[in-house]
Amino acid sequence: MRPRRLVISSLLEALQGQPLVSSAELTEMLGVSQPTVSRGLAALGPRVVKIGRTRATQYGLARAIGRLGSHWPIYRIDEDGKPHELGTLHALQQGHWYFESDQDVESLRFGEFARGVFPDLPWFLDDQRPQGFLGRAFAQAHAEGLDAPPDILLWNGEHVLTALLSHGDNLPGNLVVGDASLERALQEIVRPTGTCPIGSADFRRWPDARSLASPLALRRAASNPSSPFASTKAVATISPR
């Protein structure tokens, strides 16, 4: 029998080498029994992210993004300004991401992404990266605080997520990442400051986004078009089924 520490060390090495791996693959890679792998995975606790069920289950190793952690809740704000938790975003090794949800989110997870695994930041969040003139100004102003390049064209998924977590209350669409951003977004709804948390350019261009915003947010969008996150593309929104 291999020492427990050696098994855990070998597990970590195997999980770091690829984004997802099954229990059977770990058993073969490590040359140990299935129960030994199961005990090792359990010992790693929250560092291991479980994806799927039964024989389709795979495991990924959590990847910390700076001091922001490795997983964050994603909320949808409905037309009345009320938040609904859709699921949890996990950062995995090898630049992969996992959007965990037990709800009907087919509009966000479909096709090759039906399991919620993405090779880069999920499209519905990457679409909300700072863009255009205001986006460039935002990046230059906040690059140092976000530990990101001042040129938004050089931003990767981690940079975008960091911006969404730090300033995501002022983004297009009706999705909010992280509890802190949600709190700020709700404060903006209750006490409008003239800055729209949902990019006003999108309200004028995309009827779906307009229908998902609260009347208060619409009034603020009409009065202030400045949002560094305002996209020129369709906004990622989700409606309750």
pLDDT reported for residue 172: 65
pLDDT in tens, the chain (241 residues): 455 677 889 999 999 988 999 999 999 999 999 999 999 999 999 999 999 988 889 999 999 999 999 999 999 988 888 899 999 999 999 999 999 999 888 889 999 999 999 999 999 998 888 888 888 898 899 989 899 999 989 999 999 999 999 887 766 678 899 999 999 888 877 765 544 444 444 333 333 433 334 443 433 343 344 555 554 343 455 555 5
76 and 54 co-located in one domain: no
Amino acid 42: pLDDT: 93
> Is residue 238, in this structure, part of any structural domain at all?
no
Asked if residue 237 is part of any domain, the answer here is no
200 lies in the same domain as 153: yes
The pLDDT value given to residue 189: 74
Q: How many domains does the chain have?
A: 2
How much is the pLDDT for 228? 57
Q: Do the beta carbons of residue 232 and residue 132 sit within 8 Å?
A: yes
CA-to-CA distance for 219 and 150, rounded, in angstroms? 32
**Residue 212 and residue 94 share a domain:** yes
For residue 85, is it within any domain? yes
Complete DSSP assignment for 7-70 = HHHHHHHHHHTSS-EEHHHHHHHHT--HHHHHHHHHHHGGGEEEESSGGG-EEEEB---TTS-S
Q: What is the pLDDT of residue 213?
A: 41
Same domain, 104 and 164: yes
* Locus of tokens 């009347």: 215
Pairing state of beta strands 21-22 and 83-91? unpaired
| DSSP per-residue string spanning 130-143 | --HHHHHHHHHHHH
Domain final residue pick, 43, 61, 79: 61
CATH number at residue 13: 1.10.10.10
Identify the domain containing residue 150 by its residue range: 71-223
pLDDT at residue 131 in the model: 84
State residue 212's pLDDT score.
39
Separation between Cα atoms, residue 31 and residue 2, nearest integer Å: 10
The pLDDT of residue 44 is 94
pTM for the model: 0.77
Residue 212 covered by a domain? yes
CB 173 within 8 A of CB 198: yes
Same domain, 212 and 103: yes
| Same domain as 206, residue 91 | yes
| Residue 17 lies inside a defined structural domain of this protein | yes
Q: In terms of domains, do 118 and 215 share one?
A: yes
Would you state the pLDDT for residue 233? Answer: 41
> 123 with 180, same domain?
yes
